[in-house]
Amino acid sequence: MSNGASSGGVLADSASTRTFLWVCMGPVLVFLLIVAIAPMTLAIVDSLRELSLTSLTKRGQFIGLDNYRDLIATDSKFYAAIAHTAIFMAVVVPVEFVLGLMIALWLNREFAGRRLVLTIIMIPTMIAPVVVGMIWRFFLMPSFGVLTVYLNRIGLFEDTSVFSGPVTAFGALMIIDIWEWTPFIMLIMLAGLSAVPRAPIEAATLDGASRWQILRHIELPMLVPLIIIALMLRAIDASKIFDTIHVLTGGGPGNATEVIATFAYRTNFLTWNLGYGAAVCLVLAFASLVMAALFYKIVSGKAPTQEAA
Amino acid sequence: MLRRNWVTFLVPLVLLLGVALIPYIWILLASFKERVDLITPDPKWVFEPTVVNYVEIFGRGFDVFLLNSIIIGFSSTALTVIVGTMAAYGFSRFKIPAGNHLFFLILATRLGPPVAYALPMYLVFDAFGLVNSHFAVILAHATFNLVLVVWMMRSFFNDVPREIEEAAYLDGCGHFRVFWRFAIPMTYPGLVAVMIFVFIFSWNELLFALILSGGETRTLPVMIPSLVLHTGTLWGQVAAASIIQSIPVLIFIFFIQKKLVQGLTFGAVKG
């Protein structure tokens, strides 16, 4: 992204400017060195070692790329976690998008108490994900959870709990994610819709255009940049889902709801397989760098028009 | 006609608010329930309220964890905002050598799965004996919030006309004075919103706190699931702790609603 700095003028190169530049950028450079560069370097070194805190034989011998080879060539649990994450994203992101857009289209008007209404709708997105997880755990608790009780009354889940079956557990996690994040999409779409100029819509209405035609030919095209941002942010966040799954299923039953983040967490901090875990983390970090590059390109692609204003 | 419009608007609105709110209301009610009203196959919407859960969580060190959350929230917010705002000003006003790469690196720290960065951080903090300290969690939270501060503040600084600062500079103000006396006051409302966001994200964060804190340094999001015991979950206390944890968040979203969309999208969308 071009940072739009003036290369000439009074703020141009001089000794005091250069000093000030170091004052500005020095702290962030030191900071990144401590929290990003150093940790990553250490992780790369450890990923080349056989290191486990629970094994007496794995004391940190260098084994080259064996951890990576084992992970990429043979670890079926790793691929299962990737598959689960991909399925999860493929379901929740489109559903959240359609629902969020529909709600935004419908709420895009002035009414009394709008601020309070939006605050309430944003509750699922804004409260801590771990609290979301606990709320739903309480809601769906076997036998006594209020939702379980009402589901039982209509004859569902009478002999089994929602989180004991692989399919129902995964489905429940998806529904909870949709509950949690649809408001996020709605908020972005609402921001976009309120910026759509009224004139073309009014003109189209006078010409007899239907609501659908207005949406299809006027509103949606104008929303495209925002839709891309919303979908990308949602996809990135969905790929990282951890808190609610950690609290609700811990990746179970079996490994039915094991996603990338819970897999990496288990490898490192439950089985303490740190060498192998470091390899997992670095593969994930690399994949996310590619995602970040894509996101950066798309977001900065639309930046010049925004900054030209 | 007008009346019918109101009905077709209000009915779905109430449904929508119900879906968003009822799970939260249910945990709010639970926080005021005795154990007999909590664990019952006959859900109680009306009951005799009690504050016993709110009293009991303090017996489990809730005050310590609350204080940890506050200390970590405020410290990491201060650290991120100072480091991030300076950098954002630099990015906005000057040509930074390799600036694009630096900007990208800052973004990358946030877009990856936190667990991928948590282990490397754990290794470093462990080497310095800093695991289970506030400091480790503060640094970790500051890291994933840095991109938010840099991106949002940069866009706020970009919106401030440069001419005022250039005039001040010509009048003999130093760069730092120009930054402090002109740039900061003109972006102040945005800065406050950014601080609130950074605080909420730190306040709500689970994974880094789970890995890097322990025992006496745990935060509220780590404490709440720890009330799930082998002998059964202390639901009343879970509810009470969850309600207290979420109250500041609810207050903040009401007051920064205009900036909400901007904060949730790293400043990519303007509200």
DSSP A112-128: TTHHHHHHHHTHHHHS-
- B contacts of A22 (beta carbons < 8 Å): none
Cβ-contact B263, B86 below 8 angstroms: no
Omega of the bond leading into A253 within 30 degrees of 0 (cis): yes
Q: How far is the C-alpha of A283 from the C-alpha of A261, rounded, in Å?
A: 12
Neighbours of A264 (CB within 10 A): 25
pLDDT at A274 exceeding the cut of 90 = no
Are both A99 and A225 inside the same structural domain? yes
The answer to whether the Cβ–Cβ distance between A130 and B246 falls below 8 Å is no
CA gyration radius for chain B?
23
In this prediction the pTM is: 0.88
Are both A215 and A86 inside the same structural domain? yes
Q: Is A4 on the interface with B (CB under 8 A)?
A: yes
pLDDT tens digits for range A75-113: 889 999 999 999 999 999 999 999 999 999 989 888 888
Q: How far is the C-alpha of A15 from the C-alpha of B248, rounded, in Å?
A: 46
The nearest alpha carbon in chain A to B30 belongs to A138
The answer to whether the Cβ–Cβ distance between A187 and B140 falls below 8 Å is no
Nearest to A10 by CA among B93, B158, B236: B93
Q: What is the pLDDT along chain B (271 residues), one digit of tens a residue?
A: 456 677 888 888 999 999 999 999 999 999 999 888 888 778 888 888 889 999 989 888 899 999 999 999 999 999 999 999 999 999 988 888 777 788 877 777 777 778 888 888 888 898 888 888 999 999 999 988 998 899 889 989 988 888 888 888 888 888 888 888 889 999 988 899 899 999 999 999 999 999 998 888 999 999 999 988 888 888 999 999 999 999 999 998 888 888 888 888 877 777 6
Categorize the per-residue pLDDT at A56 as very low, low, confident or very high, splitting at 50, 70 and 90: low
Choose the mutation target among A3, A53, A269, A271 for the interface with B, i.e. most B CBs under 10 Å. A3
The nearest alpha carbon in chain B to A110 belongs to B9
Give Dmax over CA atoms of chain A in angstroms. 79
CA angle (B212, B216, B221) in 5-degree steps: 60
B40 Cβ contact partners less than 8 Å away, ≥ 6 residues apart: A144
Are both A155 and A50 inside the same structural domain? no
A178 Cβ contact partners less than 8 Å away, ≥ 6 residues apart: A92, A95, A96, A99
Are both A302 and A181 inside the same structural domain? yes
Are both A187 and A227 inside the same structural domain? yes
Cβ-contact A97, A235 below 8 angstroms: no
- Mean pLDDT taken over chain A: 85
Helix (H, G, I), strand (E, B) or coil at A98: helix
Question: What does the pLDDT read at residue B24?
Answer: 93
Are both A103 and A211 inside the same structural domain? yes
A164–chain B nearest CA distance, Å: 17
- A contacts of B246 (beta carbons < 8 Å): 127-128, 131
The answer for A 253-272 residues in CB contact with B (under 8 A) is 260-261, 264-265, 268-269
Contacts 24+ apart (CB under 8 A), A143-146: A143/B41, A144/B38, A144/B39, A144/B40, A144/B41, A146/B26, A146/B43
Cβ-contact B260, B253 below 8 angstroms: yes
> Per the domain annotation, does A225 fall within a domain?
yes
Are both A25 and A147 inside the same structural domain? no
The answer to whether the Cβ–Cβ distance between B87 and A24 falls below 8 Å is yes
Are both A19 and A157 inside the same structural domain? no
- Residue A262 is part of a domain; what is its CATH number? 1.10.3720.10
Q: Is A25 on the interface with B (CB under 8 A)?
A: yes
The mean-pLDDT minimum among A15-19, A81-85, A253-257, B234-238 falls in: A15-19
Nearest to B141 by CA among B213, B217, B198: B198
Categorize the per-residue pLDDT at A210 as very low, low, confident or very high, splitting at 50, 70 and 90: confident
The nearest alpha carbon in chain B to A232 belongs to B265
Nearest CB to B116: which of A11, A119, A284?
A284
Neighbours of B105 (CB within 10 A): 18
> Per the domain annotation, does A29 fall within a domain?
yes
Are both A50 and A93 inside the same structural domain? no
Categorize the per-residue pLDDT at A13 as very low, low, confident or very high, splitting at 50, 70 and 90: low
Are both A162 and A270 inside the same structural domain? yes
pLDDT at A129 exceeding the cut of 90 = yes
Question: What does the pLDDT read at residue A309?
Answer: 31
A197–chain B nearest CA distance, Å: 15
The nearest alpha carbon in chain A to B169 belongs to A10
Instruction: Record the tokens describing residue B95, joined without a space.
Output: 């040509």
The answer to whether the Cβ–Cβ distance between A123 and B20 falls below 8 Å is yes
Q: Is A274 on the interface with B (CB under 8 A)?
A: yes
Domain count, chain A: 2
Give the end-to-end CA distance of chain B in Å, rounded to a whole number: 33
The answer to whether the Cβ–Cβ distance between B225 and A134 falls below 8 Å is yes
Torsion of CA A216, A218, A219, A221, to 10 degrees: 80
- B contacts of A289 (beta carbons < 8 Å): 108, 112
Burial of B70 (0-12, 13-18, 19+ CB in 10 A): middle
Helix (H, G, I), strand (E, B) or coil at A53: coil
pLDDT at A10 exceeding the cut of 70 = no
The answer to whether the Cβ–Cβ distance between A179 and B19 falls below 8 Å is yes
The answer for A 237-256 residues in CB contact with B (under 8 A) is 239-240, 242-243, 246-247
Supply the ipTM of this predicted assembly.
Answer: 0.90
Report which secondary-structure segment, H or E, holds A60.
strand A59-62
Q: How far is the C-alpha of A132 from the C-alpha of A184, rounded, in Å?
A: 15
> Per the domain annotation, does A9 fall within a domain?
no
Cross-strand partners of A59:
A51
Q: Averaged over A131-155, what is the pLDDT? A: 88
Question: What does the pLDDT read at residue B48?
Answer: 86
Handedness of CA A259, A265, A266, A267 (dihedral sign): positive
Categorize the per-residue pLDDT at A228 as very low, low, confident or very high, splitting at 50, 70 and 90: confident
Q: Averaged over A185-206, what is the pLDDT? A: 89
Nearest to B68 by CA among B226, B216, B249: B216
Domain that holds residue A96: 75-308
Given the candidates 3.40.50.300, 1.10.3720.10, 3.40.50.620, 1.10.357.10, the CATH classification of the domain at B61-264 is 1.10.3720.10
Are both A171 and A281 inside the same structural domain? yes
Cβ-contact A205, A214 below 8 angstroms: yes
Are both A211 and A290 inside the same structural domain? yes
The answer for A 41-80 residues in CB contact with B (under 8 A) is 42-43, 46
Question: What does the pLDDT read at residue B38?
Answer: 84
Q: How far is the C-alpha of B254 from the C-alpha of A116, rounded, in Å?
A: 7
Q: Which residue, chain included where needed, has tokens 């011998």?
A: A61
Task: Tell me the domain boundaries of chain B.
Answer: 61-264
Q: What phi and psi, each to the nearest 5 degrees, are found at residue B35?
A: -60, -40
Mapping DSSP onto H, E and C, the string for B238-249 reads HHHHHHHHHHHH
Cβ-contact A158, A152 below 8 angstroms: yes
- Rounded alpha-carbon distances, angstroms, from residue B141 to A13, B91, B254: 35, 22, 24
Q: How far is the C-alpha of B112 from the C-alpha of A241, rounded, in Å?
A: 11
Nearest CB to B90: which of A21, A35, A124?
A21
> Per the domain annotation, does A69 fall within a domain?
no
Cβ-contact A107, A120 below 8 angstroms: no
- How many CB contacts within 8 angstroms connect chain A with chain B? 300
The answer to whether the Cβ–Cβ distance between B12 and A122 falls below 8 Å is no
Q: How far is the C-alpha of A223 from the C-alpha of A238, rounded, in Å?
A: 22
Q: Which amino acid is at B112?
A: G
